Amino acid sequence: MDAVLIVVGIVIVLAIVSVKVVSEYERGVIFRLGRLMGARGPGLFLVIPIIERMVRIDLRVITHNVPPQEVITRDNVTIKVNAVLYFKVIDPNQAVTEIEDYAAATSQIAQTSLRNVVGQSHLDELLAERERINARLQQIIDEQTTPWGVQVTLVEVKDVELPPSMQRAMARQAEAERERRAKVINAEGELQASEKLAEAGRILAQVPTTMQLRYLQTLTEIASEQNSTIIFPIPIELLGNLLSRPAAVQPDAPPPAPVV
């Protein structure tokens, strides 16, 4: 009776041990006496105890922060740059058989690739063409992790830390650029204003009556400000006829005395 109970207990334990359940986002890679039998799951399946062994692999996207790397750019600027890496396993069999630790290996590849790509780029390219740098990093890392059954979905450069001297130099450069733009805009405004004034002068010269209307409008504007004294210039056109008339000769006037 005791032997039967022992056998039944052993069978129950083996049954419990042999039953495996993997989630929808997991796969179980099965080895039978050291030979790869393939991936199973998701769901419930049996693993022969002692003879078979299962390695659980997560197929979800893994987020990994690449630690800051001190890099000298192509234009000899020392910076610190870090990135974030997104990758996932697309072939569980290769992720187990081709590499010991695919996550650690992918992290190391990301660090070395980040230093190489940033070291071959200028600082302006790193700051202005971030998308191109990210795409190049993703391509380089993915080419090296594909044989491991790992796919790199996205690489993003997060922060670029500049030395204080470079920050001050870039601040001065940005300030000088803003001043240059302000001067250009001011000069363009002066040019447009002078063109409009010249056009207004030509119109006033073609129609003389418009000058008189302009004088009347100016008088109205001055009167509305409650000034105590108003000096209103008389247009020279009104005095033109008077100045152009010859002086009348008086008949009864004596002749001028001769000069001795």
The answer to whether residue 253 is domain-embedded is no
Place of tokens 């989630």: 23
One domain, residues 51 and 131? no
The answer to whether residue 257 is domain-embedded is no
Q: In this predicted structure, what is the pLDDT of residue 254?
A: 55
The answer to whether residue 235 is domain-embedded is no
Give 141's Cβ-side CA count (13 Å radius): 35
| CA nearest neighbour of 85 among 116, 115, 106, 58 | 106
Query: Domain residues for 210?
Result: 177-219
Total domains in the fold of the chain: 3
One domain, residues 99 and 43? no
Domain termination site, one of 42, 57, 72: 57
The answer to whether residue 101 is domain-embedded is yes
Q: In this predicted structure, what is the pLDDT of residue 260?
A: 40
The average pLDDT across 92-111 equals: 93
The answer to whether residue 119 is domain-embedded is yes
One domain, residues 33 and 69? no
DSSP 19-67: EEEE-TTEEEEEEETTEEEEEE-SEEEE--TTTEEEEEEE-SPEEEEEE
Q: In this predicted structure, what is the pLDDT of residue 249?
A: 47
Tokens standing for 200?
């207004």
One domain, residues 53 and 67? no
One domain, residues 80 and 120? yes
The answer to whether residue 193 is domain-embedded is yes
Query: Letter for the amino acid at 258?
Result: P
The answer to whether residue 107 is domain-embedded is yes
The average pLDDT across 172-182 equals: 80
pLDDT confidence bin for 244, thresholds 50/70/90:
low
One domain, residues 158 and 107? yes
CB 63, CB 107: distance < 8 Å: no
One domain, residues 44 and 112? no
4-13 pLDDT tens trace: 778 777 778 7
Packing angle of the helix pair 209-223, 164-206 (nearest 10 deg): 120
One domain, residues 69 and 50? no
The answer to whether residue 243 is domain-embedded is no
One domain, residues 97 and 121? yes
Looking at the chain, the whole-number percentage of residues with pLDDT higher than 70 is: 77
Q: In this predicted structure, what is the pLDDT of residue 180?
A: 85
φ/ψ (deg, to 5) at 246: -75, 155
One domain, residues 102 and 139? yes
Q: In this predicted structure, what is the pLDDT of residue 77?
A: 84
Q: Which of 81-90, 138-147, 187-196, 244-253 has the weakest average pLDDT?
A: 244-253
Given a cut of 50, whether residue 159 has pLDDT beyond it is yes
pLDDT confidence bin for 114, thresholds 50/70/90:
very high
One domain, residues 35 and 67? no
188-215 pLDDT tens trace: 888 888 888 788 777 767 766 666 667 6
29-40 pLDDT tens trace: 999 998 999 999
| CA nearest neighbour of 46 among 27, 12, 29, 21 | 21
Q: In this predicted structure, what is the pLDDT of residue 222?
A: 66
One domain, residues 109 and 141? yes
* Average pLDDT value over all residues in the chain: 81
CB 96, CB 29: distance < 8 Å: yes
Query: Letter for the amino acid at 103?
Result: A
Q: Which CATH number covers residue 132?
A: 3.30.479.30
Q: In this predicted structure, what is the pLDDT of residue 145?
A: 94
Given a cut of 50, whether residue 259 has pLDDT beyond it is no
